[in-house]
Amino acid sequence: MIQLADARRILAAAEKKAEEIGQPMNVAVVDAGGNLVAFERMENAWLGSIDISQKKAWTSRAFDITTKDLGANSQSGDQFFGIHASNDGKVMIFAGGIPIKKDGKVVGAIGVSGGSGAQDHAVAEAGVAAY
Amino acid sequence: MIQLADARRILAAAEKKAEEIGQPMNVAVVDAGGNLVAFERMENAWLGSIDISQKKAWTSRAFDITTKDLGANSQSGDQFFGIHASNDGKVMIFAGGIPIKKDGKVVGAIGVSGGSGAQDHAVAEAGVAAY
Amino acid sequence: MIQLADARRILAAAEKKAEEIGQPMNVAVVDAGGNLVAFERMENAWLGSIDISQKKAWTSRAFDITTKDLGANSQSGDQFFGIHASNDGKVMIFAGGIPIKKDGKVVGAIGVSGGSGAQDHAVAEAGVAAY
Amino acid sequence: MIQLADARRILAAAEKKAEEIGQPMNVAVVDAGGNLVAFERMENAWLGSIDISQKKAWTSRAFDITTKDLGANSQSGDQFFGIHASNDGKVMIFAGGIPIKKDGKVVGAIGVSGGSGAQDHAVAEAGVAAY
């Protein structure tokens, strides 16, 4: 189970990456139950991404998949098209959410929002690597 | 009218199929009124599918159609595109929901979520067959 | 962590009690993350209690307290008055929800709805006793 | 304007107080715009308070008042009774939220949830003192 100390380490690594690429981010970490453990908004990061980062983290845990990969199956004509309307709008289907695993089992997830999809995903990867 | 004893039999058959294909599932059964009768989440099944399985069941009863067939008419450009935004987000338009009939009349529905569209539909069919 | 087999045992014991007192019930069990594991609506149980039973279970896990005791602190003038407006309306403040503990730690909860507060609480207690 | 570095200092002071009184807490800080800057859930803190702590912080900034004082005017029969139903349920009317001021001007707020009203308020005060 991801606890606060883990989440802080993950946030720090993600934010370090965000600084390197010069894009302020919102970063959220949820535990195995999909419940928020920690969140930080960097200076000048988008306000609209407070919600998105948290929902990306939730989505990645809820379906044990990156939001990037989920999105690739959720466009019009795809097998999961319409999934973004489920769960009271909590499902995000664009890059920035990644499950966090331990011994092959998903124990939580990170969600990043504040830049392009590629930037969000890269920052999330940096966070995951710190666990 | 589907009652609890029927729903349990349907769930058991669906879960047996889920075990056979090795994919843990969320399974829900609604009655003729579209109201939930029973729900079960198998060990390690996706958390995000708790909601989706119930909404697939509701959708199949609400429109007396499989969610797979409804989805085939609800992609961008199709006659029902946008229907997933109706009913406060309760309409699911991807495979896994199937109406349950008795003497040609819809008496309820099953909704399955936890794998690919094809897997969800197959597990739902196994559930229906047990009624 | 409460799994499906545990939840079924809890539901069965709760429903047995409901039958004894002659009041059909809706019964829900959530795990440590507050996520639904299983739900059953007995024949002729109230439709409006499908939602309430699930939210009572969630509430008992979310605050590690019975909804009866939470309610006793949430009336007008009490220290938690207004808590029922939090969490997007998921907080139930009347009897029927009880946390489920293992080795002193809350691992899930049961929620029962379909009768008077006293009946709901008694049925929930019967469910907890089966864990 | 409260920035992330300020919020971290406030969270740390609040959590130190929470540890002293032996009650794990959820702590949130919002800026002058009422938007979340940082949030942390301590180990074993209530899941239902993730939402409440954030809404207490928002409420304190939204009305430039402690939620304890707002609550004192919002019970049944009081001048603001019913305010908890406004703003899509974001208004919390029990202790734990305190505005943060600089030169007499409100620049943000802290929200704490996880214990009794008195505990939440005391932990929030410790956080404010660190600014």
Domain ranges of chain D: 4-129
The pLDDT value given to residue A69: 98
Q: Is C106 on the interface with B (CB under 8 A)?
A: no
| Mean pLDDT over the full length of chain D | 97
Q: Please, which pLDDT band fits residue A5 given cuts at 50, 70 and 90?
A: very high
Residue with tokens 């969800």: B120
CATH topology of domain B4-129: Beta-Lactamase (3.30.450)
The pLDDT value given to residue B1: 81
Interface test with D, best of C86, C90, C91 (most D CBs within 10 A): C86
**Nearby residues of C29 by Cβ (< 8 Å), 6 or more positions away:** C2, C6, C7, C10, C11, C36, C37, C38, C39, C57, C100, C108, C109, C110, C111, C127
* Chain C closest-CA separation from residue A59 CA (Å): 14
| Mean pLDDT over the full length of chain C | 97
CB contact under 8 A, D51 and C81: no
The pLDDT value given to residue A17: 98
Contacts of C32 in chain A (CB under 8 A): 33
Q: Please, which pLDDT band fits residue A49 given cuts at 50, 70 and 90?
A: very high
The tens digit of pLDDT for each residue in A88-118 reads 999 999 999 999 999 999 999 999 999 999 9
Interface test with C, best of A2, A30, A35 (most C CBs within 10 A): A35
Q: Please, which pLDDT band fits residue D1 given cuts at 50, 70 and 90?
A: confident
Asked if the model's pLDDT at residue A2 lies above 90, the reply is yes
The tens digit of pLDDT for each residue in D12-54 reads 999 999 999 999 999 999 999 999 999 999 999 999 999 999 9
CB contact under 8 A, C39 and B36: yes
Q: Is A33 on the interface with D (CB under 8 A)?
A: yes
Asked if the model's pLDDT at residue D62 lies above 90, the reply is yes
* Chain D closest-CA separation from residue A81 CA (Å): 29
The tens digit of pLDDT for each residue in A56-80 reads 999 999 999 999 999 999 999 999 9
The pLDDT value given to residue A1: 82
Contacts of D33 in chain A (CB under 8 A): 47
Report the SS3 class of residue B66.
Answer: coil
Please name the residue of chain A whose CA is at the shortest distance from the CA of residue D42.
Answer: A4
Q: Please, which pLDDT band fits residue B124 given cuts at 50, 70 and 90?
A: very high
Q: Is A6 on the interface with C (CB under 8 A)?
A: no
Q: Please, which pLDDT band fits residue C1 given cuts at 50, 70 and 90?
A: confident
Percent of chain A with pLDDT over 70: 100
Asked if the model's pLDDT at residue C55 lies above 90, the reply is yes
Asked if the model's pLDDT at residue A129 lies above 90, the reply is yes
D30's torsion region: left (phi>0), alpha (psi -120 to 50) or beta? beta
Contacts of A38 in chain D (CB under 8 A): 38-41
Percent of chain B with pLDDT over 90: 99
